[in-house]
Amino acid sequence: MRTPHAVLIATLAAGAHLLVAQEGALTLPKTVEAGKAFSIQSTGSGKATLYIVSLGQVLKRDMQLGESISFPAGSIYSAGHYVTVLARESSPTESGSLDVVPAAQPADLTFLARPSRLPVGLHSGITGAAYVFDAYHNLINTPASVSFELSSPAGATQKRTVETKNGAAWIEMDSTAQQGMDKFVARVGDVSSMRIVGQVPGDPCTLKMSAHPSGQQVQLQTEPVRDCSGNPVPDGTIVTFTETYEGAQSTVDVPLKRGIAEVKMPARPGARISVASGVVLGNEIRWEK
Amino acid sequence: MVRPLLILCAVVAASSGVGTAQADVRVEPVHLQGPRVLQEQTQAAIIRDYLQGWQTMGAAFDQNRVDLLDRDFVGTARDKMAEAVQQQSAAGIHTRYQDKSHHLQIVFYSPEGLSIQLIDNVEYSVQVLDRDKVETTQQVRARYVVVLTPTEVRWRVRVFQAQPE
């Protein structure tokens, strides 16, 4: 036999917020924190089946009306909107709903960082985005502070903290002045995720060559080629030597080896010899010997 | 300047591969956090793929077929839905989801372009059937937080989570 009014719901869990009692055999919590224990007390008598249905989790329980039904910790873990149905043998079904909210404690972090390799000294060249999840892979949509830290092997560190919005936070950072493998870390609470960002020298900053006689030829050699932060430009970078003589031009492309480019060209009195790499133009020599 | 709301029923019509009623779709002007610009073509593709996801999801939950999810869902969203479908199947029930209206706003496009987040204030009906006996039909209004990621040929839903309004 069914009692005339709904009775109080019994909640075991601190995370469950009560819905105002309404007429029916069940009073449901309005919200439940993912993973927390809770229980529902029913009224009436007879057998019934309880369905708790969402797009992330489905439960079906046989129950005896008039008794409480307990959901131990970990029973409902997928955050979302749940439809509840109480199907009774001798009465119409009763429908309701409850919301399962993510646990408050971050337990996982998805960290997207780009690029994996870039030149030094680039303003806002590195970006990171982070999504914060609880232990059940629910996106935590209440604001959380995510700290982003970019540190170079030399010890230079950039650190900034960003509040999540709808579970997401993002950052832009400058690449550091020194080449090397930097650590890019996103951290929320005790959870962190690291990416490695390779910082390579930029384009040559200045180019200077010297010339020396070498038999019938002239020996041309650059000084060690560096970027504007003083990092040696990688070997293999092409340096172009151009000799102009009586209106004719001859060009030689030479890769850097151990930071230096060198080549021999015909020694012609009055020839003009220039050096360049990419968009950087070096000094010019007039060969008089 | 704020552009007027777009009514994108056409997108739904194009996206719906099954003979179901079409949902009304409103798309809010884009107010993105983040430096990346969202091209109109990308926005249209995201909305199209997301709405197709609702059709796919409806079929998967109605037929208790996990495999149907693979085209439009990936990662956490796919895993959770697959688990729910398996739980339905084990319990001898199935569910019919029918979206009625979507009110969409794209809120975040991650700087590297690998994820996009939208909020969908959606109205849908859900019918719970136990061995083909309809136990309930409910009209639901919910706020969904959705994260999509680009895959080979389409955007797929990676996070799909309702939160209290």
CA dist A183 and A189 (Å) reads 18
Cβ contacts of A33 within 8 Å, gap of 6 or more? A13, A15, A16, A100, A101, A102, A103, A104
CA dist A186 and A110 (Å) reads 9
Of residues B92, A179, B118, A30, the one with CA closest to residue A9: A30
Question: Is residue A5 included in any domain, yes or no?
Answer: no
Distance from the Cα of residue B161 to its chain's centroid? 10
Name residue A126's amino acid. I
Strand order in the sheet with A209-214: A209-214, A217-222, A262-266
Q: Which carries the bigger pLDDT value, residue A33 or residue A5?
A: A33
CATH number at B83 reads 3.10.450.50
Strand order in the sheet with A29-33: A17-18, A29-33, A94-101, A80-88, A47-53, A58-64
Residue from the list B34, B87, B108 with its beta carbon closest to the beta carbon of A166: B108
Average pLDDT over residues B151-155: 92
User: Which pLDDT does position A24 carry in this prediction?
Assistant: 60
Instruction: Determine the average pLDDT of the residues in B22-27.
Output: 92
For residues B16 and A208, what is the distance between their CA atoms, to the nearest angstrom?
A: 66
Residues of B in contact with A30 (CB under 8 A): 164
Q: Does A61 touch chain B (CB under 8 A)?
A: no
Per residue in A222-236, pLDDT tens?
Answer: 999 998 888 899 899
Q: CB-CB: which of B92, B114, B138 is closest to A83? A: B138
Average pLDDT over residues B79-89: 98
Residue percentage of chain B with pLDDT more than 90: 77
Is the per-residue pLDDT at B93 higher than 60? yes
* Gyration radius from chain B CA atoms: 16
pLDDT exceeds cutoff 50 at A162: yes
Number of independent structural domains in chain A = 3
Q: Is residue B87 part of a domain?
A: yes
- Residue at B17 is within a domain: no
| pLDDT higher than 90, residue A88 | no
Measured CA to CA, the distance from residue B79 to residue A56 in angstroms comes to 9
User: In whole numbers, what is the pLDDT of chain A averaged over residues?
Assistant: 88
Chosen for mutation from B137, B146, B161, B165 (greatest number of chain A CBs closer than 10 Å) is: B161
CA distance B33 to chain A (A): 9
* Closest chain A C-alpha to B14 CA, distance in angstroms: 24
Higher pLDDT, residue B33 or B45: B45
Give the pLDDT confidence score for residue A12 in this predicted structure. Answer: 39
For residue A57, tell me if it sits in a domain: yes
pTM beyond 0.95: no
Nearest CA in chain B to A62: B91
Q: What is the pLDDT of residue B29?
A: 87
Residue A245 structure tokens: 């003589």
Give pLDDT, residue A288: 84
Domain limits at A72?
17-101
Assess whether pLDDT exceeds 50 at residue B123.
Answer: yes
Which of A105-114, A134-143, B19-28 shows the lowest per-residue confidence on average (mean pLDDT)? B19-28
Residues of A in contact with B145 (CB under 8 A): 139, 141, 166-167
Look at B111 and A114 and tell me if their CB atoms are within 8 Å.
Answer: yes
Q: What is the mean pLDDT of residues A23-38?
A: 86
Q: Is residue B132 part of a domain?
A: yes
Highest-pLDDT range among A19-23, B9-13, B97-101: B97-101
CATH number at A241 reads 2.60.40.10
Domain end call among A200, A223, A251 = A200
Measured between CB atoms, does B41 come within 8 Å of chain A? no
The interface predicted TM-score (ipTM) is 0.88
Q: Are residues A260 and A217 in the same domain?
A: yes
- Token representation of residue A124: 């806002």
Cα(A127)–Cα(A112) distance, integer angstroms: 8
Give the residues across from B19 on adjacent strands: none
| C-alpha–C-alpha distance, residues B36 and B27, integer Å | 19
- Is the pLDDT at A1 greater than 90, yes or no? no
Which residue type occupies A46?
G
pLDDT band for position A121 (cuts 50, 70, 90): confident
Over the stretch A188-246, which tens digit does the pLDDT of each residue have? 999 999 999 998 888 898 899 999 999 889 999 999 999 888 889 989 999 999 999 99
Tell me A130's DSSP state: E
- Pair A160, A222 in one domain: no
Q: Which of A67, A101, A135 corresponds to the end of one domain?
A: A101
Q: Is A253 contained in some domain?
A: yes
* Cβ count within 10 A of residue A249: 10
- Domain of residue B103 covers 6-12+24-163
What pLDDT does residue B90 have? Answer: 97
Cα separation, A103 vs A78, in Å, equals: 10
Same domain? For A114 and A171 the reply is yes
Helix (H, G, I), strand (E, B) or coil at A100: strand
> Rounded to whole angstroms, what are the CA distances from A282 to A238, A255, A258, B95?
13, 16, 19, 73
Of B52, B59, B46, which Cα lies nearest the Cα of B15?
A: B52
Residue A10 covered by a domain: no
Same domain as A54, residue A29: yes
Contact present, B12 and B122 (Cβ < 8 Å): no
Same domain (yes/no): A153, A227:
no
Cis status of the peptide bond prior to A115, with omega within 30 of 0: yes
Alpha-carbon gap: A235 to the closest alpha carbon of chain B (Å): 30
In a domain? residue A256:
yes
Q: Which region, left, alpha or beta, applies to residue A74 given φ > 0 means left and ψ of -120 to 50 means alpha?
A: left
**Which of A18-22, A140-144, A152-156 holds the top average pLDDT?**
A140-144
End residue of a domain, out of A146, A177, A200: A200
Overall domain count for chain B: 1
Q: Do A96 and A113 fall into the same domain?
A: no
DSSP string, A42-81: B-S-SEEEEEEE-SS-EEEEEEETTSEEEE-TTSS-S-EE
